[in-house]
Amino acid sequence: MKITVEQVEHVAKLARLNVGEDEKEMFAEQLSAILQYAEKLNELNTDGIEPTTHVLPLHSVTREDEVRESLPIEAVLRNAPDEEDGQFRVPAVLD
C-alpha cells in the first residue's frame, strides 16, 4: 500500500499539524514503508498459534492488601505545618 501526499495532508489537517511541503513527501514515503513492513507479517503462517495481547505473560506486581495497625495520630501530625483538633489545618481555598 502506498500512502499519498494527499492522505498525509488529510491526516495532518485532522491532527491540526502544520506540515511543510518537503515533509509531506518524506512522511508519505516513511508511512508507506511502515505499511509495507506490516504487510509482510500477513505472509507468516500463524495456523495453530493462539492470539495474544502481550508477548510475555502478565502477572500482578502489587502486593496483597494487609490489614495493619495505623500510625498513632501524634506521629502522623508530628510533621504537619499546622494542626487543629487532631486534623491537618490547611489554608481555605474557597471564601
Residues 6+ apart with CB under 8 A from 9: 19, 24
**What pLDDT, on the 0 to 100 scale, is given for residue 55?**
82
Ranges of the chain whose pLDDT falls below 70 = none
Q: What angle do CA 23, 13, 35 make, to 5 degrees?
A: 60
5-41 in CATH: which number?
A: 1.10.20.60
**What pLDDT, on the 0 to 100 scale, is given for residue 82?**
92
- CA distances from residue 21 to 64, 66, 75 in whole angstroms, order as listed: 56, 60, 64
Which tens digits make up the pLDDT trace of 63-78? 888 999 999 999 999 9
**What pLDDT, on the 0 to 100 scale, is given for residue 28?**
96
Residues 6+ apart with CB under 8 A from 39: 1
